């Protein structure tokens, strides 16, 4: 272990630009870094950076406490929906600094091979935007909610008490007179999840759902449905509206962004296990516009071979993005990739490199002189009512 540390130490000092550093030392260290021809072959940009004497990939000293492998936790930034890879550097049990995870292609180009030793990775930092680095403040914000809050006043009054986690689970599952302490709600009984999960038979659930589909297709009337399922109508939210489904649907799970497997977990719990259809995420206006642009760009006018007529396919809902690595001209409309917009980490470097070496020109349409607009070849500060006219022109 010490031998490895020493080698990393050599590497760090070899690239620190201090007096006495020779190209020979660097090549020796780079050969260690590669460990094998495979690594050298897979991270040419990284090694090329080292050969140029660049130090920005590396922590300054291996003895720097935050560059020790045992002080680092690899995780994911949740400060925005880009979800960059991060390395959280721990000192005395607290996160002292967050940097980019060099294994993540989003944070280092090219990223380190996954087999790279943690002793090397510890001294290599990927990129991270300021918002990501502010994750330390988010984690230790004194106003961060870390306990279960229960309403202690009328809705909207902003009065809360904290309750133990076990009590919260108990109340949510069993229900009861949960708000006796709130004036006017002393006698209000709240159903718990146990009561709401009224329909537990999967086969019966399927059968009733199929019959609701028949009502929609006008193959069955509501009266016929009620007659067929008369012994089970108490399981429904409203027997006169079987389309609302079983009481189970009264459990609604509203989430923020659900990616990286969380959506699957929530779906298994809410839908497959609890039997409610109501697991809903959300999207944003900016993401919605991205989707619809992507759909419009991939829209096809194709022959429907069954109907023998041409039809629009509807396009694909996908995160279409400009190829900032190879493009020669990019027009950003209302987007500022140097500040946000799906990860400055991945794009700022590619755009900057392109602008420096003359490959890329960018123009920005934005009433605001954003950071991206400030660096652009052209800034077009038109206001909202002209952004439709501009592309038409």
Site residues (vs ligand SF4, CB under 6 A): 77, 79-80, 82-84, 128-129, 131-132, 343-345
For residue 380, which of 368, 392, 393, 364 has the smallest C-alpha distance?
364
**Backbone dihedral angles phi then psi of residue 105, each to the nearest 5 degrees:** -65, -15
Report how many helices (DSSP H) and strands (DSSP E) the chain contains, helices first. Answer: 16, 14
**What is the number of alpha carbons within 13 Å of residue 350 lying toward its C-beta?**
21
Question: In sequence order, what are the beta bridge partners of 165?
Answer: none
- Cβ 106 to ligand SF4 shortest distance, Å: 7
- State the nearest-atom distance from the C-beta of 135 to ligand SF4, in Å: 7
Residue closer to ligand SF4 by CB (options 102, 132) is 132
Rounded-to-integer distance, Cα 348 and Cα 356, Å:
12
Q: How far is the CB of 344 from ligand SF4 (least distance, A)?
A: 6
Which CB sits closer to ligand SF4, 85 or 242? 85
Handedness of CA 135, 117, 17, 355 (dihedral sign): negative
Phi, psi angle pair for 223, to nearest 5°: -60, -40
Least Å distance between CB 23 and ligand SF4?
34
Q: How far is the CB of 171 from ligand SF4 (least distance, A)?
A: 35
With respect to ligand SF4, which residue has the nearer C-beta, 129 or 335?
129
- C-alpha to C-alpha distance for 211 and 241, rounded to whole angstroms: 12
- Compare residues 45 and 260 and give the one whose CB is closer to ligand SF4: 260
Q: Using the minimum distance from each CB to ligand SF4, give the nearer residue, 131 or 271.
A: 131
Q: Which is nearer to ligand SF4, 79 or 116 (CB)?
A: 79
CA distance 142 to 131: 18
Q: Which residue is nearest to ligand SF4 (CB)?
A: 132
Please identify, using beta-carbon distances, which residue of 102 and 242 lies nearer to ligand SF4: 102
Q: Which is nearer to ligand SF4, 138 or 193 (CB)?
A: 138
User: Rounded CA gap, 343 and 219, in Å?
Assistant: 50
Residue 76 or 296 with smaller CB distance to ligand SF4: 76
Quickly list H helices, 145-300: 165-174, 193-196, 202-216, 222-228, 262-267, 285-298
Shortest distance (Å) from residue 133 CB to ligand SF4: 7
In whole angstroms, how close is the CB of 73 to ligand SF4 at the nearest point? 16
Evaluate whether 348 touches 100 at the Cβ level (below 8 Å): no
What one-character-per-residue DSSP string does 34-102 give? HTTHHHHHH-HHHHHHHHTT--TTB-S-TTSGGGSGGGEEEEE--SSTT--EEEEEEETTEEEEEEE-T
Least distance in Å: CB of 258 to ligand SF4?
15
Smallest separation (angstroms) from ligand SF4 to the CB of 280: 23
For residue 311, give the 3-state DSSP assignment.
strand
């Amino acid at each position: 272990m010490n031998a490895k540390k020493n080698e990393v130490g050599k590497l760090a000092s070899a690239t620190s630009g201090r007096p006495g550093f020779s190209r020979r030392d660097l090549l020796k260290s780079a050969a260690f870094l590669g460990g094998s021809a495979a690594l050298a072959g897979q991270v040419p940009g990284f090694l090329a950076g080292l050969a140029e004497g660049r130090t920005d990939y590396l922590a300054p000293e291996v003895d720097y406490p935050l560059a020790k492998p045992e002080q680092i936790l690899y995780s994911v930034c949740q400060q925005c929906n880009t979800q960059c890879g991060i390395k959280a550097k721990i000192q005395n049990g607290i996160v002292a600094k967050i940097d980019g995870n060099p294994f993540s292609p989003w944070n280092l180009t090219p990223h380190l091979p996954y087999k790279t030793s943690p002793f090397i990775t510890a001294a290599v930092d990927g990129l991270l935007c300021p918002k990501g680095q502010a994750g330390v403040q988010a984690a230790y914000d004194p106003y961060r909610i870390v306990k279960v809050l229960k309403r202690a006043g009328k809705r909207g009054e902003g009065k809360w008490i904290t309750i133990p986690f076990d009590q919260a689970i108990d109340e949510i599952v069993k229900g009861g007179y949960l708000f006796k302490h709130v004036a006017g709600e002393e006698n209000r009984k709240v159903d718990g999840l146990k009561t709401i999960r009224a329909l537990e038979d999967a086969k019966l659930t399927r059968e009733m759902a199929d019959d609701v589909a028949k009502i929609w297709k006008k193959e069955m009337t509501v009266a016929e449905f009620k007659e067929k399922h008369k012994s089970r109508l108490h399981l429904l939210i409203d027997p006169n509206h079987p389309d609302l489904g079983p009481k189970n649907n009264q459990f609604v799970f509203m989430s923020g962004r659900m990616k990286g497997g969380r959506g699957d977990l929530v779906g298994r719990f809410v839908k497959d296990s609890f039997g409610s259809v109501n697991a809903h995420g959300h999207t944003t206006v900016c993401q919605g516009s991205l989707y619809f642009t992507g759909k419009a760009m991939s829209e096809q006018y194709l022959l429907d071979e069954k109907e023998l007529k041409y039809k629009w396919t509807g396009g694909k809902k996908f995160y279409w993005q400009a190829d900032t690595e190879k493009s020669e001209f990019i027009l950003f409309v209302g987007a500022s990739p140097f500040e946000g917009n799906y990860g400055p980490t991945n794009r700022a470097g590619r755009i900057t490199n392109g602008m420096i070496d003359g490959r890329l020109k960018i123009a920005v349409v934005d009433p605001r002189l954003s950071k991206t607009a400030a660096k652009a070849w052209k800034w077009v500060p038109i206001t909202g009512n002209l952004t439709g006219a501009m592309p038409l022109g």
